[in-house]
Chains A and B, each alone.
Chain A
């Protein structure tokens, strides 16, 4: 079965600094990878996806993700963090008819 793992429960960064939220994957065949964000008391919102092509994928709100096949990673990045980026971030991979989500990483950006 396809799966993803998020090794960090919590990431803290200062506003204006770059941020990275880590994700590793285990898939058979070509990987399709997604990032979603969840704000308090809300559903998940799609940020970006990797299907094929360029290893650097650009998404919503200035986020990007780097696909690394040799390290089986798909880390989420942003050059300059905002306080409003504070949320729960989920990496995900399709598995037949369902989407498999990681356990989530709580990002806190401090002013």
Chain B
């Protein structure tokens, strides 16, 4: 069973630039969620994709956008980067749209630093 993989592991960008983060979901999982974890805080929900459609969004501005592909892998795009976007970005996959019985399976994250 292949787990959730994220790339790159680390990234340094300049304020105003754009970034794309990638995630491959665990085999058999059709739902991908993205979270932002600032230093010393718990993960904050950005959005979720189910069968290539956005299926819920947290309190993040439109410059945070995403995609899910037919193989259920996903991308997180952030435009016009701000210093406060510096964080660990976590991707999590699960086996259902809303399945409270199924825990989230997380990747190891992408550490984004905006200077």
Contacts and interface: CB of A to CB of B under 8 A. Distances in A.
Interface of A: 32, 34, 36, 41-46, 49, 51, 90, 94, 96-104
B56 A46 contact: no
Nearest to B6: A43
A97 B97 contact: yes
17 contacts: A32-B100, A41-B111, A43-B107, A43-B108, A44-B92, A44-B106, A97-B33, A97-B55, A97-B56, A97-B97, A98-B45, A98-B48, A99-B92, A100-B45, A102-B42, A103-B41, A103-B42
Nearest to B103: A46
Contacts, number: 61
A45 B45 contact: no
Which of B42, B101, B103, B111: most chain A CB closer than 10 A? B42
A103 B44 CA distance: 10
Nearest to A94: B100
User: Size class of B's contact patch?
Assistant: 20 to 34
Contacts of B44: 101
B104 interface: yes
A5 to B, nearest CB: 11
Given A36-B103, A98-B33, A99-B45, 9 more contacts: A34-B103, A43-B108, A46-B103, A46-B104, A51-B100, A97-B97, A98-B45, A101-B43, A104-B41
